[in-house]
Amino acid sequence: MNNQQLIIFTRYPEPGTTKTRLIPVLGAKGAANLQFQMTETTITKAKKLSNMMSLLVEVRFAGGNLQLMKNWLGVEPDLKYQEQGTGDLGERMTRAFESAFNHGMKSVIIIGTDCPGLTADIMLEAFAKLTESDVIIGPATDGGYYLIAIKKNIPELFQGIYWGTSEVLSKTVAIAQNLNLAIDYLPELSDIDRPEDLEKLQF
């Protein structure tokens, strides 16, 4: 039985509702197209990872609907879809982790689609490190993180954090340390969120 899960947070690429901080540079359609590309690239990496290990992949989406997501990204036995639901990012991640552990998962990773440098090998490393530590974090250059992995539900990790700010990583680490959790890290990578990030873009 698969008891390791990768959860991908993404948004349906409808112009005007996604990558809004890039709209002044790319336009609404261009920003949505970037979201489209980055999500498809991430799904490709997830499929590569699933060829390297036993894995369930779940797409947690905002915007659109289930049928639109399936039409876009396809229907496969080890690929499932779930709406992110309401609340801030922390509440939505807590709900995703809780659902995974309630379904018998033992190791769970959440990633977004904003980090072109994230590879299947890095995700494989995260799963491997999780056997030795409680929390694995992939730090982003903007002070956030592009990946977080845990092996039990720890809702406190996602509470009281100002999401989208440069304190996300440091606050998360402080919470983990206060909970006496063993933390390990992955290589630092760049997210694509703001116009100045576009020069780092590579597929």
Please check whether residue 102 lies inside any domain of the structure. yes
The closest of 39, 3, 5 to 19, measured between CA atoms, is 39
Q: Which domain holds residue 43?
A: 4-197
For the chain, the first-to-last Cα distance in angstroms comes to: 33
Please give the pLDDT value at position 202. 59
Please check whether residue 99 lies inside any domain of the structure. yes
pLDDT at 203 over 70: no
Q: What CATH number should be reported for the domain holding residue 154?
A: 3.90.550.10
Please check whether residue 121 lies inside any domain of the structure. yes
Rg (CA), the chain: 16
Percent of the chain with pLDDT strictly greater than 70: 98
Please check whether residue 203 lies inside any domain of the structure. no
Strands lying side by side in the sheet with 183-185: 79-83, 56-62, 4-11, 107-111, 145-150, 135-139, 183-185
pLDDT at 57 over 80: yes
Please check whether residue 202 lies inside any domain of the structure. no
Please give the pLDDT value at position 19. 85
DSSP letters spanning 164-203: TSTTHHHHHHHHHHHTT--EEEPPPB----SGGGGGG---
What tens digit of pLDDT does each residue of 72-124 get?
999 888 899 999 999 999 999 999 999 999 999 999 999 999 999 999 999 99
Structure confidence at residue 16 as a pLDDT band (50, 70, 90): confident
pLDDT at 149 over 90: yes
Please give the pLDDT value at position 76. 85
Kindly state the tokens that stand for 111. Answer: 């990633």
Averaged pLDDT for residues 124-132: 97
Structure confidence at residue 1 as a pLDDT band (50, 70, 90): low
Please give the pLDDT value at position 2. 77
The number of distinct structural domains making up the chain is 1
Structure confidence at residue 70 as a pLDDT band (50, 70, 90): very high
Please give the pLDDT value at position 18. 86
Please give the pLDDT value at position 107. 98
pLDDT at 189 over 70: yes
CA distance 165 to 163: 6
Please give the pLDDT value at position 106. 96
Please check whether residue 49 lies inside any domain of the structure. yes
Please check whether residue 80 lies inside any domain of the structure. yes
Please check whether residue 8 lies inside any domain of the structure. yes
Name the E strands within the chain: 4-11, 56-62, 79-83, 107-111, 135-139, 145-150, 183-185
In the block, tokens 């982790």 appear at: 97
Averaged pLDDT for residues 12-17: 92
pLDDT at 127 over 80: yes
CA distance 82 to 148: 19
The closest of 3, 97, 123, 101 to 55, measured between CA atoms, is 3
Q: What is the overall mean pLDDT for the chain?
A: 93
- pTM for the full predicted model: 0.95
CA distance 56 to 134: 20
**Residues ≥6 apart with Cβ < 8 Å to 43:** 8, 57, 59, 73
